[in-house]
Amino acid sequence: MTAITNTFSTDQPFLSELLSAASSGSIQLPDFQRGWVWDDNRIKAIIASVSLGYPVGALMCMETGGEGVRFSPRPFEGVSISNTSPSELMLDGQQRITSLFLSLKSQFPVLTTNEKKQEIKRYYYLDIKKCFDPDIDRFDAIVSVPEEKVVTSDFGRKVDLDLSSTDKEIENEIFPLNIIFDGNKSDEWQMRFQEYYDFDKEKIKFLFRFKSEVITPFQKFKIPVIKLLKDTPKEAVCQVFENVNTGGVSLTVFELLTATFAADDFRLRQDWDKRRAVFDSTDPVLKHLDEKDFLTAVTLLSSYNKHISKGSSISCKRKDILNLTLSDYCSCADDLQQGMIRAAKFLHTQKIFDTKNLPYQTQLIPLSVICSILGNGFENSAARNKLSQWFWCGVLGELYGGANETRYALDVQNVPAWINGGSEPVTVRDAGFYPTRLLSLQTRNSAAYKGIMALLMKAGSIDLINGDPIETTTYFDQAVDIHHIFPRSYCIKQQYERRFWNSIINKAPLTSRTNRIVGGKAPSSYMASIVKNHGISSHNLHNHIETHLINPALLEVDDFTGFISDRAKKLLDLIQAAIGKSVTGRDSQEVVQEFGGHLQ
């Protein structure tokens, strides 16, 4: 058995050592970390905890210099350094250490916010008397004063506290916290305190008690630090960060790669923003494509290229994305961008125009990679037919709804090979559709539901009144949506079973205008109204209705049962044509029981 070795070490440095390391730049932050955001009260609260020797939680750092992880560093807020290479990066603890550094180490006012989220600048002090009052919470002994070190009221007309000089600090017996770790300045302040009170014994005793019970605990305060060793792999860094940094922003693979690529002076975020703008301006179907989708697809394409050249396996799991090199990214990103644009074009041919009606957002990832691999071959009719079959097998077989990385890899490897004469891909082989599934397709939450509606539009589904095809212009300009053929209110009144009348069998893509005309009327009634009021012959109306795979003769006599059976058969024929294989069980006992007969 392989020995398991730790990827970390532990230590308990003094707080003063950590703050000095932050000040010198030997400890910095990875560039993916968000900015410092703590407000005035949270700063006072952590100062109070330290002053009492209470734990403030462990920190997590990572050694730099390893081969596996290279991040672009940045100094802590308030630290002025340049061209300093850190020995460690802090993964968890930025807010705490920054707050303590700014309030206890920096000589500048702390730029923070108040309860109203308004920006304020503050210096922090300890009220010595309140530190010894057992009835006063230590939080209330922390004094936060404005930049000018004068606290006023009555719109500035009344001075409540003036700490604008050392003598005034001593007069009010309030100690400045930003000198607590500066031995020389702290000693000078204490000597000045004794001089100010003419070496009064009681005041000296009072001061020494403060030094012993408050200042010394600050100086002896230790914080536990977990240090990830420099050879810790990226996936471990990412997982550990997400486990421990529950109060911060979750570290995504995109953020981790952004920080990694920044070490080579490549701005991944800016690159993605440019590509995102291209996708947004290209097609609405790419609207919800995000940076993780893009990285997954880049990893798939890069992995496929290596598979072709080296025979390695194809994979796009989390660890594969994290191990994507800048060279891999740059060599594949442009090709993938074009593949995504081709994928959008393909979806248009399938009558899928936007994300609302895209069956699986996840399937867009392998589709884009396959389109990248096909290149100009994407335009070949035979290739397009096989791509269409694979796509609809994924949708109607409902195969892209769970964990998909393995299926991505298999399809990216097998679909291009299949198009070029290879064996059938696993998604085509696995796909199946059982007839009674039509009854459970009740809402657009299902990929199969959206897919069947797109297939209906692909098959025809012209507007009942004017006969316009539901192409891009009508789809966007005339508010096409999915509506009942036997209207909902009519079905309820007739006491038809909901599982039939609300299923996809009783639905079609119609314009909002047509749906208003249909209203809650019986089909025979609204068909007569259309002929009478909209200048269309009965013959043409029948032709328009038939493009929705509906037998108009059944509507004219309001035959709901006959309609359900007849349209179910036609929808199953449509599905068979799309997936390129038979729908089994059309004459099964279950089907006969549900529909009152077979659906052959």
> Contact 433/393 with Cβ under 8 angstroms?
no
pLDDT confidence tier of residue 240, bands split at 50, 70 and 90: low
Residue 373 in tokens: 């691999």
Instruction: Identify the weakest region by mean pLDDT among 14-28, 56-70, 305-319, 437-451.
Output: 56-70
Question: For the range 552-556, what are the long-range contacts, defined as Cβ-Cβ under 8 Å and sequence gap of 24 or more?
Answer: 552/527, 555/485, 555/523, 555/524, 555/527, 556/523, 556/524, 556/527
**560 φ/ψ angles, rounded to the nearest 5 degrees:** -65, -45
Instruction: Identify the weakest region by mean pLDDT among 145-154, 400-409, 583-592.
Output: 400-409
**pLDDT for 475:** 47
pLDDT > 90? residue 255: no
pLDDT confidence tier of residue 465, bands split at 50, 70 and 90: confident
Distances (CA, A) of 146 to 78, 111, 121, 161, 185: 17, 10, 6, 11, 21
Whole-angstrom Cα distance, residue 208 to residue 119? 37
Continuous H helices in 495-536: 498-501, 512-518, 523-533
Distances (CA, A) of 23 to 4, 32, 217, 416: 36, 20, 21, 56
pLDDT > 50? residue 4: no
Nearest to 466 by CA among 510, 521, 414, 404: 510
For 344-373, how does the pLDDT look when each residue is reduced to its tens digit (9 = 90+)?
Answer: 999 999 999 889 889 999 999 999 999 999
pLDDT confidence tier of residue 277, bands split at 50, 70 and 90: very high
For 86-123, how does the pLDDT look when each residue is reduced to its tens digit (9 = 90+)?
Answer: 999 988 889 999 999 999 999 999 999 998 889 999 99
**pLDDT for 382:** 92
pLDDT confidence tier of residue 251, bands split at 50, 70 and 90: low
**pLDDT for 1:** 35
**pLDDT for 474:** 46
Residue 563 in tokens: 């309609």
- Would you tell me how many other CB atoms lie within 10 Å of the CB of residue 47? 26
Position with higher pLDDT, 33 vs 450 = 450
**pLDDT for 482:** 84
Instruction: Identify the weakest region by mean pLDDT among 200-204, 207-211, 246-250, 336-340.
Output: 246-250
Distances (CA, A) of 166 to 58, 172, 196, 353: 35, 10, 10, 71
For the chain, the domains span 7-245, 252-381, 437-595
Position with higher pLDDT, 159 vs 264 = 159
Distances (CA, A) of 582 to 40, 389, 393, 429: 68, 13, 12, 12
**pLDDT for 256:** 78
Mean pLDDT of 455-484: 73
pLDDT > 80? residue 32: no
Whole-angstrom Cα distance, residue 496 to residue 440? 16
Nearest to 253 by CA among 267, 270, 264, 239: 239
What H or E segment, with its residue span, contains residue 61?
strand 59-63
For 546-575, how does the pLDDT look when each residue is reduced to its tens digit (9 = 90+)?
Answer: 999 999 999 999 999 999 999 999 999 999
Whole-angstrom Cα distance, residue 180 to residue 105? 8
Token match 């069980």: residue?
585
Whole-angstrom Cα distance, residue 461 to residue 550? 10
521 Cβ contact partners less than 8 Å away, ≥ 6 residues apart: 487, 490, 529
Whole-angstrom Cα distance, residue 286 to residue 596? 43
Instruction: Identify the weakest region by mean pLDDT among 14-23, 498-507, 526-535.
Output: 526-535
Angle between helices 291-310 and 253-262 (to 10 degrees): 70
Whole-angstrom Cα distance, residue 329 to residue 266? 11
Instruction: Identify the weakest region by mean pLDDT among 10-14, 350-354, 403-407, 522-526.
Output: 403-407
pLDDT confidence tier of residue 407, bands split at 50, 70 and 90: very high
Distances (CA, A) of 89 to 21, 36, 74, 223: 11, 15, 9, 16
**pLDDT for 233:** 74
Q: Quick one: what percent of the chain has pLDDT higher than 70? A: 93
**pLDDT for 445:** 87
What is the chain's mean pLDDT, rounded? Answer: 90
528 Cβ contact partners less than 8 Å away, ≥ 6 residues apart: none
**pLDDT for 294:** 96
pLDDT > 60? residue 320: yes
pLDDT confidence tier of residue 2, bands split at 50, 70 and 90: very low
**pLDDT for 479:** 59
Q: Which residues of 464-482 are buried (b: 16+ CB within 10 A; e: fewer)?
A: bbeeeebeeebbeebebbb
pLDDT > 80? residue 49: yes
**pLDDT for 3:** 40
pLDDT > 60? residue 245: no
**pLDDT for 444:** 86
pLDDT > 60? residue 184: yes
pLDDT > 70? residue 513: yes
- Would you tell me how many other CB atoms lie within 10 Å of the CB of residue 544? 23
